């Protein structure tokens, strides 16, 4: 088991999480204070192992064809956890562990390329760093950035962070600079950035870090996504702090996975003007790696994106 965790985490990190729940409460509290937005309790060690193991198992079943898709509802979440430290309530990086497991421990399953989509309102900093130079994994994160003033703070979530070495061009960040983005903004990003690149990348598996804290009503995220938006974007569960918005959004995704009809919604909403600028900026930064993004879009084209393009994929939602 430790060997699977060690695909993305250091030995010191693994031992810390494995042993933390056996410590005294005062020791757990002091240890948590060494890290950014972390808490521990007597169940942390077991819960984090079960979360990571569940995502591995779900991913393997999808890769084997035993499941068409899967929704792994787990806590703690994972996308902030980095190689050497927990962060942002994340102890192990569940989605990164599962992706690395398929690529490195189960090559005979034929999963050679993985697209990781992170629609959580916070940037998936840990996942980005773990695959930053790996062309087998295309990481995509759409998140609030607020010029580096939104958690996790700093420049890691900027559009300029596109990967390095062999992985140059395989990391895509779409950073919102305000808290007003809604369905039409995400649909425009899907149509004009994610879907074109995903088609060229042609992944064997799509894994989604499906945090629902960009949903309308979440007290921390501040964005305006509806359950309808999640039902058509289809992705994966990681975080989400408002139970009503979380439940509605997760339910919408499960209904789509079960091949029920997507939620219907009558809307004439258009993307924000700032969204057009973000899309153009991201496309320009990535165009040397992905020629499909080279053309400049008119506002009219961007504003026509009221529904995302559809494609058949194998999905794992976390």
Q: CA-to-CA distance for 78 and 116, rounded, in angstroms? A: 13
pLDDT digits (tens, 9 = 90+) for 180-205: 899 999 989 998 999 899 989 999 99
Confidence of residue 245 (pLDDT cuts 50, 70, 90): low
Alpha-carbon distance of 72 to 69, in angstroms, equals 10
pLDDT tens for 27-56 read: 999 999 999 999 999 999 999 999 999 999
Catalytic residue among 9, 13, 80, 143: 80
Confidence of residue 246 (pLDDT cuts 50, 70, 90): low
N-to-C CA span, the chain = 20
Q: Which domains, from first to last, does the chain contain? A: 54-317 (3.40.800.20)
- Using the 8-state DSSP alphabet, how is residue 247 labeled? H
227 pLDDT higher than 70 = yes
d(CA 37, CA 126): 14
The reported pLDDT for the residue numbered 22 is 96
Catalytic residue status for 9: no
**Closest listed residue to residue 64, CA positions, set 318, 314, 258:** 314
pLDDT for residue 64 is more than 60: yes
pLDDT over 50 at 237, yes or no = no
Question: What pLDDT does residue 263 have?
Answer: 57
Q: Between residues 83 and 315, which one has the greater pLDDT?
A: 83
- For the whole prediction, is pTM greater than 0.85? yes
Please give the average per-residue pLDDT across 211-237, as a whole number. Answer: 80
pLDDT band (50, 70, 90) for residue 298: confident
**Among 139-153, 160-174, 219-233, 240-254, whose mean pLDDT is lowest?**
240-254
- Mean pLDDT score of the chain: 89
């Amino acid at each position: 088991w430790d060997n699977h965790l060690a695909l993305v985490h250091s030995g010191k990190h693994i031992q810390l999480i494995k042993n933390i729940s056996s410590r005294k409460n005062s020791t757990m509290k002091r240890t948590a204070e060494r890290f950014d937005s972390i808490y521990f309790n007597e169940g942390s060690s077991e819960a984090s192992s079960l979360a990571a193991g569940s995502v591995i198992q779900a991913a393997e079943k999808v890769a084997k064809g035993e499941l068409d898709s899967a929704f792994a509802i787990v806590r703690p979440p994972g996308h902030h956890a980095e190689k050497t430290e927990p962060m942002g309530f994340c102890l192990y990086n569940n989605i990164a562990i599962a992706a690395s497991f398929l690529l490195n421990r189960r090559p005979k399953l034929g999963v050679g390329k993985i697209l990781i989509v992170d629609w959580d309102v916070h940037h998936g900093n840990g996942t980005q760093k773990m695959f930053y130079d790996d062309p087998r994994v295309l990481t995509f994160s759409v998140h609030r950035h607020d010029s580096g003033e939104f958690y996790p703070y700093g420049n890691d979530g900027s559009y300029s962070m596109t990967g390095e070495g062999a992985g140059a061009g395989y990391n895509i960040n779409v950073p919102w600079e305000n808290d007003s983005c809604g369905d039409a903004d995400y649909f425009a990003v899907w149509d004009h950035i994610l879907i074109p690149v995903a088609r060229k990348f042609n992944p064997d598996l799509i894994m989604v870090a499906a945090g629902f804290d960009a949903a309308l009503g979440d007290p921390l995220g501040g964005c305006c996504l509806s359950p309808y938006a999640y039902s058509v974007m289809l992705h994966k569960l990681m975080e989400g702090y408002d139970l009503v918005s979380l439940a509605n959004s997760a339910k919408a995704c499960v209904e789509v996975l079960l091949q029920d009809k997507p939620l219907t919604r009558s809307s004439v909403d258009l993307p924000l003007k700032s969204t057009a600028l973000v899309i153009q900026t991201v496309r320009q930064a990535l165009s040397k790696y992905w020629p499909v993004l080279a053309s400049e879009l008119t506002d009219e084209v961007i504003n026509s994106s009221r529904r995302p393009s559809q494609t058949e994929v194998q999905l794992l939602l976390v």
